[in-house]
Structure 1
Amino acid sequence: MKKILIAAAVTVATLGAPQAFAQAKNFEGFSVGLNINSTASDTDISNSGGSVKATGQTSANGAFQVQYNLPLGSSFVLGFGGTYEFGDIDIGSSAIFSGKRKEASSVYIAPGFAINDSWLIYGKVASISAKFESTGAAIFTGKADATGMGYGLGFQKMLGKNLYLQAEYMQNKYNDQTIVTSLTTQAKAEARTVSFGVGYKF
């Protein structure tokens, strides 16, 4: 009886392992995607001439995404990728100030867990960069390059072998930056982005 149970256990393990590993394997490989982003920004601009605070400014743009997923065991996946946004994001406005975020991009790692062979949940840690441009009163008009860090959570749903849908939430914080205006101006910017996209895995 003991030998029969051992043989049965070995058989189950042998048959089950490829199927379990297939969960992660289904997400393996290079992919490209297009996302639609909705971003809420909080920005503080200040100098010796005064300060402006813009909270909850929301706008939308698009992003191109490239990623490579590497399966780690039966269910874990490690993703490496990058995004580039097209279209500007408003960072705030008032009677004397308006600003935009341009040419935003990121590189990231995204560890994930394959719930089954079609659903993947993942976290994301990103290094972010963008150009900021402010206009309005002379003391708040200028440009600056900014970098920072982003953290998020997302899902991917495979629709067959290659096509997938994606939903994601990111919290991005840019490092404090100096904008060269008629006065030395300090800017602090944060953004919260919800995105929905479609992609193709090769």
Structure 2
Amino acid sequence: MKKLLITSFVLGSLTAGSAFAAGPTAAPDLSGFSIGTNAEFSRGSVTANDGSSDGGATTSAGINARYDWALTPTFAVGLGASYSTGNHAFGSYANGTAANINSRYSIDIVPTVALSNDIQLFGKVSSIYGNAASSDGVNNHDVQGVGYGVGVRKMLDKNLYVQAGYDLNKFRDVTYNNGTTASLQENVYSVGIGYKFR
């Protein structure tokens, strides 16, 4: 999956070069601070050494913010943060206890390529965090992992935009007090709207 995300971003970058070679009216301004909100649909899965193998779906709301630095007229690198509300379902452990992660948040590095004056392709590498419910239903455990994403942003005018994205979040294995070691993974699809300050 990581190879697919990287390939998509590289192909988008090559497409951007040919699109601007055709002669855009003006290069887009990629620098600046942006903030947005989005609806997320996520599909989580859990596997554990107690025999657990399950999945769950969650619909939630998220907010995100980032600052982009334009390195060329058509390429920028951003540093951002994202937060997703509520409990994200990953199914259940073998004993029936729900597997979930509460209040996921991340620190993001976001390279962006302008495909045209109003359409941008972005990638994302994230350090992700949350709080996982334990397999005994009593204790929680902080979890950390890595996320990879790709998305597209369309500017509606010089400030307003809509965007859609896909993220793959892979958390490090977590071992609970009762000895259960669990692996948690999440696929996240999102659509949102935001504002870029000029």
Question: Are residue 30 (structure 1) and residue 28 (structure 2) matched?
Answer: no
For 2:102 and 2:48, the matched residues in 1 are separated by 17
The total of aligned residue pairs comes to 174
String of CA shifts for 1:59-115, please: whole Å, max 9, x gaps. 111111011111121211111101011121111126622122102100111111101
| RMSD over aligned Cα atoms | 1.8
Contact 1:178-1:186 at 8 Å conserved across structures: yes
Residue number among 159, 178, 183 corresponding to 2:175 in the alignment: 178
TM-score, scaled relative to structure 1: 0.80
- Residues 1:51 and 2:51 aligned together: yes
TM-score (norm 2): 0.82
Once the two structures are superposed, residues 144-196 of structure 1 have per-residue CA deviations (whole angstroms, 9 ceiling, x without a partner) of 1110101111000001011100100001100011122xx22211101110011
* Structure 2 equivalent of residue 143 of structure 1: 140
Distance 2:176 2:37 in 1: 32
**Runs of 4+ that moved beyond 4 A:** none
- Structure (1 or 2) with the greater strand fraction: 1
Q: Which residue matches 1:188? A: 183
Equivalent residue number for residue 10 of structure 1:
none
Contact 2:132 2:143 in 1 (8 A): yes
Structure 2 counterparts to residues 109-128 of structure 1, below 5 A: 109-128=109-128
Q: Deviations over 1:96-143 (max 9, x none)?
A: 2212210210011111110111000011111111100146xx4x6431
Larger Rg computed on CA atoms:
1
Task: Say yes or no: does 1:163 pair with 2:166.
Answer: no
Runs of 5+ in structure 2 lacking a partner? 1-22
